[in-house]
Amino acid sequence: MNSSPVVDSILSARYLRRGEKTFEDICRRVASALADDETEEAAFFEAMVTLRFLPNSPTLMNAGTELGQLSACFTLPVPDSIEGIFDAMKRGAIIHKTGGGTGYNFSRIRPEGSPVQSTDGVASGPVSFMRVFNAATDVIKQGGRRRGANMGILNVWHPDILPFIAAKENEGDLANFNISVMVNDAFMNLVSERRFDSVWFTHPLSGAPVTVGRIWTAIVEGIWKNGEPGVLFYDEINRHNPTPHLGEIDTTNPCGEQPLFPYESCVLGSINLAACVREGALDEEILASTVRMAVRFLDTVIDRNVYPVPEIEEATKKTRKIGLGVMGVHDALLMLGLAYDSDEGREWCGHTMELITGTAVDESHRLAGERGTFPGWEGSIWKDYPVRNAAMTTIAPTGTISLLAGCSSGIEPIFSFAYTRKNTVGKTFVIENPVFRDALTRTLAEMDLTGDERIKKENEVLDHVHETGTIQDLSWLPKKFRALFKTALDISWRDHIRMQATFQEHVHASISKTINMPGSATMDDCEEALLMAWSLGLKGITIYRTGSREAVVLALKEPAKTPADTPRADDGRRLPERIATLSIDRPKELAGRTYLCQSGCCRLYVTVNLLDGQPIEVFIRTVGSGGCDANNSALGRAISTGLQNGVPYQKFVRQFAKVNCISAIKNSSSEGHSCADVVGRCVDLAARNQSITTLQDWEIRETGEERLCPECCEPLDFGEGCNQGICKHCGWSGCS
């Protein structure tokens, strides 16, 4: 591992134990704790220290320590009784304390308002208990090093499904939960046939009919507004249940990649595909040997693990599921000259994952001959082929371990080829993708440019991608180069789904991935994506539309330094210093609303123009005497600049509501606390497509506080199917 201030801060904050100083020390501790002999210990150590394979964070943290809890994924049942509910909460707290994340399906809890015979009272429903679980999680750190992560699931046929879908409508609510709706094929068939008026169920208490369309619209609107809820496909999950004789599966771990029975746990590990590319080709021999080593590594973890409660040990050892996955996928594709969104790129990914899974199955078969099959083997899908593990492959989020490995995370495309990262001590580092930089240097060398011109052009490209996150608008760059080096938002959301489907075809469990959509995406796009995911056989889907949450670190932009302050490399090349942002091109024509309002000192015309239903620019003009037309014009320009560069309009609304002016206080006819507050109210009303008689009747919609990293206080980024957040500055993760 190449030491860097970023990696060093991650190791210190998360993984180094007493007496350890380097990553090599961690690898020695883990390998020694898990290996059966010196040969195996050397193989484990070599795979980790070369960053070809890394296990999940709990294993890196706890192997060889007194704590000894090595699994990342757990599911716990939540029965319909006070005793059972709080037993689940207690077990979840124990899991979080030891470094794991928990998934719960709350569908067994009776709906809100149901009679409770033992107390002659009424039930408060699953959502109320989720808030209690959320509060408990808030005070428990995973392994003493990070906050706990939860998945909350409700079946689409539960009477409280609509309140559940709306449970995270305000950003910041249930912050320790990802939430997902478990839908079945019967529901999706009605949706695909557009039979929205069909009554899905009649509410058992009110007797009111609940239609397919009402539930579906709530799901789609929630996803469009803030990426919640995710959707899980019940029948697809159970069509691939490796042990159907043990029951049906209705719960997953926090990021959705591991469908599990109650009390099951799973240990995860990921192979860095970029480290398996040698001399312009995938070294299949190295990859296969790494897979075999990883299967033995993860299977051993099951036996060496210190389980938090006895029921988890029993359920885990009954099926012995392991979750071997990949990271560095986009890096590997770039090294091979394959575009992420191309048929050739997907074909390579499918072939590679097929090789990984096939090799994992063969090694599990060998292990069965040495150590025996998993106890639930009889009656499983493997009944004619002895294996040691009921399931072997999955695609997990690799938020922190991919930072350690210096590769792209999971199967996600790279967000930007240059960006700024800050560590826990506040230092700033410019991170550039080495594959992109080397390819850019080669491409410019092939052009008819002088040495100084090449350096100037290279600085121009790096500065541009650092600021905008894309090179697609640099038309002077070769078309082939631009087609290869696409970032997450350059890639169509349909191609995001196609890539997930490509991997899912060759993965036993499921996949943690975020389907990125541009801010301009519509609710129709979200609806189409859900139907596409279901039709392609995905087991679940998470969608994030850019700008729909405030807490997205790479959508923010720092002020540019003056040329004199801009640092330069030894060869004169400029190192860009701005965080990537996504600016919006204004169409020639926009529609919006104009409000005539009264502030403390003047009357105002406030025009708010919309793009795809979202405020994109604001014009403010004073009417008659009073007020300062220049200041109000400047205020409108400042708001417009912010909106067009990714600042959520809610942030302006909330901040302006705090601005008080003595003129407004004295003037009872003022429709706000200040001119800024009046403008903020107009922006919010326009966004909600609402008219109002007087702005004094307006009430601010609480959207929750910005989600910040608990260690370095930078805004969290959301990806890989995770609502808990990953800090791209210091490496903190609430999910992995």
Please tell me which residue in 226, 228, 241, 255 is annotated as part of the active site: 255
Q: Cβ neighbours of residue 33 under 8 Å, at least 6 residues apart?
A: 63, 64, 304
Which range has the worst mean pLDDT, 65-79, 132-146, 368-382, 681-695?
Answer: 132-146
- Residue 648 confidence (pLDDT): 82
DSSP-derived 3-state class of residue 671:
coil
689's tokens:
């497509």
- pLDDT, tens digit (0-9, with 9 covering 90-100), for 226-265: 999 999 999 999 999 999 999 999 999 999 999 999 999 9
Between 703 and 631, the higher pLDDT residue: 631
Residues linked to residue 608 through DSSP beta bridges, in sequence order: 593, 618
- Residue 653 confidence (pLDDT): 87
- Residue 373 confidence (pLDDT): 98
Distance, in Å, from the CA atom of 127 to the CA atom of 118, rounded to the nearest integer, reads: 21
- Residue 560 confidence (pLDDT): 46
CA diameter of the chain? 90
- Residue 92 confidence (pLDDT): 95
- Residue 311 confidence (pLDDT): 97
DSSP-derived 3-state class of residue 596:
strand
535's tokens:
């039709």
Q: Which domains does the chain have, with CATH numbers?
A: 73-247 (3.20.70.20), 428-487+552-565 (no CATH), 591-697 (3.90.1010)
Rounded to the nearest integer, the mean pLDDT of the chain is: 88
Distance, in Å, from the CA atom of 534 to the CA atom of 248, rounded to the nearest integer, reads: 19
Report DSSP state, residue 730.
Answer: T
Q: Are 100 and 74 in contact (CB under 8 A)?
A: yes
Q: Cβ neighbours of residue 585 under 8 Å, at least 6 residues apart?
A: none
Q: Cβ neighbours of residue 138 under 8 Å, at least 6 residues apart?
A: 147, 175, 176
Residue 282 is inside which H or E element, if any?
strand 281-282
Does residue 555 register a pLDDT over 50?
Answer: no
Does residue 711 register a pLDDT over 70?
Answer: no
- pLDDT, tens digit (0-9, with 9 covering 90-100), for 712-729: 655 666 667 665 666 666
Tell me what percent of the residues of the chain surpass a pLDDT of 70: 87
Does residue 580 register a pLDDT over 60?
Answer: no
**Annotation says 527 is catalytic:** no
- pLDDT, tens digit (0-9, with 9 covering 90-100), for 257-316: 999 999 999 999 999 999 999 999 999 999 999 999 999 999 999 999 999 999 999 999
Q: Cβ neighbours of residue 711 under 8 Å, at least 6 residues apart?
A: 13, 424, 727, 730, 732
Question: Which among 589, 606, 590, 611 has a CA at the least distance from the CA of 683?
Answer: 606
Please tell me which residue in 105, 176, 253, 272 is annotated as part of the active site: 253
Please tell me which residue in 171, 236, 257, 363 is annotated as part of the active site: 257
- Residue 628 confidence (pLDDT): 83
Name the residue with tokens 């004199």.
564
Name the residue with tokens 């901040």.
655
Q: What is the dihedral of CA 331, 332, 338, 341, to 10 degrees?
A: -60
Give the HSE-up count for residue 582: Cα atoms under 13 Å, Cβ half-sphere.
Answer: 20
Please name the residue ranges forming H helices in 372-450: 399-405, 434-445
Amino acid at 434: P
Length of the chain: 736
- Residue 666 confidence (pLDDT): 76
pTM, 2 dp: 0.79
- pLDDT, tens digit (0-9, with 9 covering 90-100), for 442-473: 999 999 888 899 999 999 999 899 888 899 99
Does residue 554 register a pLDDT over 50?
Answer: no
- pLDDT, tens digit (0-9, with 9 covering 90-100), for 497-524: 999 999 999 999 999 999 999 989 999 9
Question: Which among 197, 100, 211 has a CA at the least distance from the CA of 151?
Answer: 100
Give the HSE-up count for residue 500: Cα atoms under 13 Å, Cβ half-sphere.
Answer: 33
Cis omega before residue 58 (within 30°)? Answer: no
- Residue 426 confidence (pLDDT): 47
Distance, in Å, from the CA atom of 550 to the CA atom of 554, rounded to the nearest integer, reads: 11
- pLDDT, tens digit (0-9, with 9 covering 90-100), for 334-371: 999 999 999 999 999 999 999 999 999 999 999 999 99
Provide the 10 A C-beta neighbour count for residue 13: 18
- pLDDT, tens digit (0-9, with 9 covering 90-100), for 421-447: 654 334 556 678 999 999 999 999 999
**Annotation says 255 is catalytic:** yes
**Annotation says 257 is catalytic:** yes
Q: Are 154 and 160 in contact (CB under 8 A)?
A: yes
Between 147 and 332, the higher pLDDT residue: 332
Report DSSP state, residue 167.
Answer: G
Q: Are 295 and 109 in contact (CB under 8 A)?
A: no
Does residue 401 register a pLDDT over 90?
Answer: yes
- Residue 10 confidence (pLDDT): 86
Does residue 568 register a pLDDT over 80?
Answer: no
Distance, in Å, from the CA atom of 441 to the CA atom of 448, rounded to the nearest integer, reads: 13
Distance, in Å, from the CA atom of 155 to the CA atom of 106, rounded to the nearest integer, reads: 8
Burial 114-124 (b: 16+ CB within 10 A, else e): beeeeeeeebb
Mean pLDDT of 114-120: 80
- Residue 574 confidence (pLDDT): 38
Burial class (CB in 10 A: 0-12, 13-18, 19+), 14: buried
Does residue 704 register a pLDDT over 60?
Answer: no
